[in-house]
Structure 1
Amino acid sequence: MSGPDRVMPDSETAYAKINLALHVRRRLPDGYHALETIFAFLDRGDVISAEPGDGVTLEIEGPFADGLSAIDNLVVQAARLLADQSGVKQGARIRLDKRLPVASGIGGGSADAAATLRLLNRLWRLGLTTAELADIAKPLGADVPACVASRTCRGTGIGQDLEPVADGDLRGTAALLVNPLVPVSTADIFAAWDGIDRGALESGQALQSARNGRNDLQPPAVAMVPILTGIVAMLEDCQPLVARMSGSGATCFGLFESLAEARDAERRCRGAKVPIWTMTGMIR
């Protein structure tokens, strides 16, 4: 299936996050890093569904369910945090259909937590705004507030200071995600960053800023997962608008002017006969 996922009214898509550019500026005393990024979101991802239940429970299924804990999962943490913050006494039986690779730089766990907040906000009839949900989401991780809105935006600070970005040049573009099926540790990649500030992310239209930007975590990720060099090269051979690694990896992306071009690039990448996972879709 290559089009947008169809979800039921009691379901919510956890949209895959793409860092179009990621500039790491400095290490912070608390272990986080000051960064500048442009977040964009594919119209596909994991799927969260829920129904009323006693307490908060989670079942996990899907192609990337193996090895995931249903006890301390971010989905459960998000549900309990929302219940605590809103004083809700209701419970929920939650199901996670895990379609995105784990530890892959496209916000899988963060997007799952964000989708859980959006879904339970409806199920529990809380009436919270997106901004209120994003504020509740902050303790769950640096990317979760951006994933709550799942719209193109600029992130600064540790990625939680969000502001709108002009995205006229990004609307209507499609994306191909390619992952070598090698999980990477975000903490390890950040720890391997060389500490050199290579300058700010320019302002302006989202796509143009991204094309003129970079991902400062790509070099340390390539050092740990050398196959990433070949994956980016495969994407670049398909003549994308831009191609690079997303987040801390190991998923790489290419942006294309149409879904047909993205699907053609997907066929070409799969023809290389190397173990990869792919997903195509439109930028939301």
Structure 2
Amino acid sequence: MTIEGFAPAKINLSLHVTGQREDGYHLLDSLVVFAAVGDRLWFDVAPVMSMEITGPFASGVPADARNLVWRAAETAGVTGHIRLEKNLPHGAGLGGGSADAAALLRSLSKGQVGDPINMQAGLSLGADVPVCVSTAPQRMRGIGEVLDDVQPFPQCAIVMVNPAVPVPTGPVFQQLGRKDNPAMASCDGFADAKDLVLWLGQQRNDLQPPACAVAPTIHVALEALEDALLARMSGSGSTCFGIYPDEAAADAAAQRIQRAQPDWWVVSTVTFAADAQPSS
């Protein structure tokens, strides 16, 4: 039996750093959505673990126990062959290995394969894993363990731009001058994209300035999205996103940016308004 999974790109529409615990973990307050593009994986139950990596961003991804997907399978109490198709760039602020691990845990659960108790333990693999288990819009707080669904939520036409510069999370947090920033405003749902953009305009990504200091090319990516209703960096970077009025406007912007920057990763897509999985 082959179990298939999809790991959609995680987008932090806003990200406030509100504190730091004694153990070093940063406290966050973030509005998270997921896009209809991402990595894919296939898992075949077998007596021993094995893994292969394919896709345009396969280079440099470990195919052994260093990979969070491998560790997620072991934590769930299953062994087998994993094929992971990496369609998202590395060090991009889009969930990465955490999203892939969550996709495997979600798929194993739906297929009723593995130990449910151990799969819950698998959520401790990374701070971003819990929020990535669902593809619904969520408010994420604490170190990632406090999650609240945000509904209603509009589907948004977006362009994601990665300037081909991976940004490690550690140096970005080291550049962050203040750790006790104000939390986000209340977000009890949004009637439409205009309502959402208006609210987002009053929020921040506290990691955007330090990430731009680490990788100044992020500034260029944000400038390329200047015709969007709102443009911002996701997570700790380096991917930036722009929200557009409709899919046609997003497509046109993506084509314009790709022509100007042929070496960048540029995608026009939509976000999930609720928990969903794409059909292809």
Shorter chain as normaliser: what TM range? 0.7 to 0.9
Q: What letter matches 1:76 in structure 2?
A: W
Aligned equivalents of 2:160 and 2:152: distance in 1? 20
Does 2:69 correspond to 1:75?
yes
Question: Equivalents in 1 of 2:48, 2:199: separation in Å?
Answer: 45
1:254 and 2:237 matched? no
Q: Secondary structure at the match of 2:225?
A: helix
Question: Is 1:244 the equivalent of 2:232?
Answer: yes
Deviation at 1:62, TM superposition (A): 0.8
Query: For the residues of structure 2 that align with 1:214 and 1:192, how far apart are their CA atoms?
Result: 16
Asked if 1:200 corresponds to 2:183, the answer is: yes
Shift of 1:273: 3.1
Give unpaired runs (5+ residues) of structure 1.
1-8, 84-89
Match of 1:31 in 2: 24
In the alignment, is the contact (CA less than 8 A) between 1:153 and 1:162 conserved in 2? yes
Q: Which residue among 58, 64, 71 is the counterpart of 2:57?
A: 64
Write the distance in 2 (CA, Å) between the matches of 1:28 and 1:163.
21
Pairs within 5 Å for 1:85-124: 90-124=78-112
- How far has the Cα of 1:274 moved from its partner? 5.6
Does residue 155 in structure 1 map to residue 145 in structure 2?
no
Q: Which residue of 2 aligns with 1:178?
A: 161
Matched, 1:235 2:235: no
Q: CA RMSD in A?
A: 2.1
Deviates more, 1:138-147 or 1:208-217: 208-217
* Aligned partners of 1:172 and 1:258 also within 8 Å: no
Q: Indicate which of 23, 42, 52 corresponds to 1:49.
A: 42
Q: Secondary structure at the match of 1:50?
A: strand
User: Is the partner of 1:175 in helix, strand or coil?
Assistant: strand
Structure-2 separation of matches of 1:211 and 1:125: 43
String of CA shifts for 1:102-126, please: whole Å, max 9, x gaps.
1110002111001111222244535
Contact 2:3 2:108 in 1 (8 A): no
Pair 1:138–1:123, CA change in 2 (3 A): closer
Task: Give, as a single letter, the amino acid of the residue that structure 1 aligns with 2:69.
Answer: V
Cα distance in 1 for residues equivalent to 2:126 and 2:152: 25
**3-state SS, counterpart of residue 43 of structure 1:** strand
Match of 1:142 in 2: 127
Question: Distance between the aligned counterparts of 2:99 and 2:258, measured in 1?
Answer: 26
In structure 1, the residue corresponding to 2:131 is in which secondary structure? helix
Measure, in 1, the Cα distance between the counterparts of 2:115 and 2:62: 30
CA distance in 2: counterparts of 1:251 and 1:38, whole angstroms: 16
Distance 1:25 1:273 in 2: 35
Q: Secondary structure at the residue paired with 1:112? A: helix
- SS of residue in 2 equivalent to 1:188: helix
Q: Percent identity?
A: 40
Q: Mean Cα displacement is larger for which, 204-213 or 66-75?
A: 204-213
Q: Please give the secondary structure, in 2, of the residue aligned with 1:105.
A: coil
Following superposition, the deviation at residue 197 of structure 1 comes to 3.4
What secondary structure, in the 3-state scheme, does the structure 1 residue paired with 2:84 have?
strand
TM-score by length of 1: 0.86
TM-score, normalisation: structure 2: 0.88
Aligned with residue 215 of structure 1, among 205, 219, 230: 205
Secondary structure in 1 aligned to 2:144?
coil
Deviation at 1:281, TM superposition (A): 1.5
Name the counterpart of 1:3: none
**Quick one: which amino acid aligns to residue 184 of structure 1?**
V
SS at match of 1:183: coil
Answer yes or no: is the 8 Å Cα contact 2:13–2:32 preserved in 1. yes
CA contact (8 A) 1:134 1:146 kept: no
